[in-house]
Amino acid sequence: MVVWQPSGSIATLKQRAEILAVIRAYFSEQNVIEVQTPVRSFATAGDPAIESLGVDDGSFLQTSAEYQMKRLLAAGSPSIYQLGPVFRAGESGRRHAVEFTMVEWYRLGFDDAALMQDVCRLVNRVLGEASFQSVTYRDLVDDADLIARAHTDDAVRDQLDVAFDDALRLLGPGRWFVTDFPARQAALARLRDDDPTVAARFELVIDGLELANGYFELSDADELTNRWLSDNAERKRRGMAVVPADDALLAAMRHGLPDCAGVALGVDRLVMIALGVDSIDEVLAFKHPPG
Amino acid sequence: MLLEGDPCSILENEFVKPGKGQAFNRVRLRNLKTGRVWERTFKSGDTLEGADVQELSMEFLYSDGEFWHFMKTDGSFEQIAAPETAVAGAVNWMKEQDVFQVTLWNEVPLSVSAPNFVELEVTQTDPGLKGDTAQGGTKPATLSTGAIIRVPLFINIGDVLKIDTRSGEYVSRA
């Protein structure tokens, strides 16, 4: 039998539309302008934990708008946001879909602490006012030895991810920021001047659901090149395809990325929390095919 | 599937990808031999061996005290003998000629499960009390299988009762 009906109810989709409107109104008030960068690009994420969906012509559906948005910032744009679809191969489950909606924004002159305040304001606007708590990655996982060994060992790194997920489940209900991720998990965040073993990276976790990931952005092109090399070395060790560095992003960073902080927030999950539903399919017009 | 040498069925499989790390699956499995629930994590790409497990409808024939004998209902009249460990969960409700679900692992009976409802005769209970039907009181009654359940006061020896095997409770007179 052909299933043609939506996976989310019409009532849910109306509520989803209201939330999108609240997000856009917030950024409009804050003078953060909306941009639209191509969904398809020849450059893609080098992070070994992210697999892109390729297109026949050799390009990739974007896993996040990050690289292109940073090129806009380097070219002199003010603070910007983007609200639209992103794609990650192989991610499919109760809380995951291969195609999902992300709101990603960059604030000029903000550091991670200022950006966390910004995230609080937006989330409060959508979900209602509530307090936020904060815990460092190190205190949350509470296993300094495991964190230290994960710095150089891929298998231990994978164990650490399980320990991190265990700890997130124990956080229970409430709004939490997890801060100061280990340097190996810096992604595109800068390391802390006063403690280079940790990165100026945070995650927002609400009721056990990871909702947003933010950085005080790395602006050093040489450091970005080094991270690209070590990501590709890890990709090789794990038997994954190597991803060439995004030369346009590197050139833009050499030209100069202004000091800024950026964050990407999963809109479907925010809607799930707002509506109290348990499965991502229930907040999508149509369930995305796995891929 | 086969895990640590035991056949298991998957109850729940959740895809997880915390903190931009490598993806893994949190899986809850029931060990079909012990009935215990296990929680395990598997990395994406891990493979598990399948277990040769089948579930068949079989008619209960008789027990010789050591084994419980069942016959296939597919017309083959093929019989198998299940040990006490396999029938433990259903033995209270097993009446000859009733049909049960028998789970076989490598052709060996692993477990036997009763239908949700069975009909069994009362072999022993105190005499019914007249006029007490509205009180909702209960008394113990022994069934033909030897099981003892709580029944309403008006039930008599020889009555056939409908029983919910999941709760072990009286439902009605059959």
Closest CA to A45 of A174, A213, A172, A169: A213
Contact B20 A185 (CB under 8 A): yes
> Would you mind telling me the total number of residues written for chain B in this entry?
174
Instruction: Give the ipTM.
Output: 0.83
Could you give the CA distance from residue A284 to residue B124 in angstroms, rounded to a whole number?
Answer: 59
Encode burial over B103-130: b for 16+ CB neighbours within 10 A, e otherwise. bbbeeebbbbbbeeebbbebeebeebee
| A115 in reach of chain B (CB within 8 A) | no
Tokens standing for residue A43: 């450059």
Confidence band, pLDDT 50/70/90 cuts, at residue B20: confident
Confidence band, pLDDT 50/70/90 cuts, at residue B130: low
At residue A190, the pLDDT reads 97
CA distance A39 to chain B (A): 21
Contact B22 A47 (CB under 8 A): no
Cβ pairs A/B, distance under 8 A: 56
Tokens standing for residue A69: 């948005």
DSSP state of B66: S
At residue B131, the pLDDT reads 56
- What average pLDDT does this structure show over B69-96? 90
When scoring B17, B25, B42 by the number of chain A Cβ atoms within 10 A, the one with the most, hence best to mutate, is B17
Tokens standing for residue B129: 């009390």
| B42 in reach of chain A (CB within 8 A) | no
Confidence band, pLDDT 50/70/90 cuts, at residue B133: low
* Minimum CA–CA partner of B26 in chain A: A162
Higher per-residue pLDDT: B34 or B171: B171
The tens digit of pLDDT for each residue in B103-115 reads: 988 888 988 989 8
Contact A161 B44 (CB under 8 A): no
> Residues B128, B151: contact at Cβ < 8 Å?
no
Q: What is the dihedral of CA A133, A137, A138, A140, to 10 degrees?
A: 50
Q: Which of residues 101-160 of B touch A (CB under 8 A)?
A: none
Higher per-residue pLDDT: B143 or A289: B143
User: In A, which residues are within 8 Å of B19 by CB distance?
Assistant: 161, 164-165, 178, 181, 185, 203, 210
At residue B136, the pLDDT reads 67
User: Who's near B127: CB < 8 A, 6+ residues apart?
Assistant: B156
Q: Supply the angle between the helices A221-237 and A247-256 in degrees, to the nearest 10.
A: 150
Could you give the CA distance from residue A85 to residue A264 in angstroms, rounded to a whole number?
Answer: 12
User: Who's near B45: CB < 8 A, 6+ residues apart?
Assistant: none
Tokens standing for residue A167: 């700890």
Confidence band, pLDDT 50/70/90 cuts, at residue B11: confident
Closest in A91, A160, A187 to B17, CB measured: A91
At residue A274, the pLDDT reads 98
> Residues A270, A211: contact at Cβ < 8 Å?
yes
User: Who's near B77: CB < 8 A, 6+ residues apart?
Assistant: B71
Contact B15 A95 (CB under 8 A): yes
User: In B, which residues are within 8 Å of A158 by CB distance?
Assistant: 21-22, 24, 43
Q: Is a pLDDT exceeding 60 seen at residue B132?
A: no
At residue B135, the pLDDT reads 58
Q: Is a pLDDT exceeding 90 seen at residue B55?
A: no
Give the count of beta carbons closer than 10 Å to the beta carbon of residue A219.
18
- Helix locations, B22-149, DSSP H: 84-87
> Residues B100, B113: contact at Cβ < 8 Å?
yes
Higher per-residue pLDDT: B45 or B14: B14
User: In A, which residues are within 8 Å of B40 by CB distance?
Assistant: none
In degrees rounded to 5, what are phi and psi of residue B153?
Answer: -65, -25
Could you give the CA distance from residue A88 to residue A62 in angstroms, rounded to a whole number?
Answer: 8
At residue A189, the pLDDT reads 97
Residue type, A34: E
- Helix locations, chain A, DSSP H: 10-29, 66-74, 112-127, 137-141, 144-150, 154-171, 221-237, 247-256, 267-275
CA distance A165 to chain B (A): 6
* Minimum CA–CA partner of B23 in chain A: A49
Tens digit of pLDDT at every position of chain A (291 positions) = 788 999 999 999 999 999 999 999 999 999 999 999 999 999 999 999 999 999 999 999 999 999 999 999 999 999 999 999 999 998 989 999 999 999 999 999 999 999 999 999 999 999 999 999 999 999 999 999 999 999 999 999 999 999 999 999 999 899 999 999 999 999 999 999 999 999 999 999 999 999 999 999 999 999 999 999 999 999 999 999 999 999 999 999 999 999 999 999 999 999 999 999 999 999 999 998 876
In degrees rounded to 5, what are phi and psi of residue B20?
Answer: 55, 35
Greatest pairwise CA separation for chain B in angstroms: 71
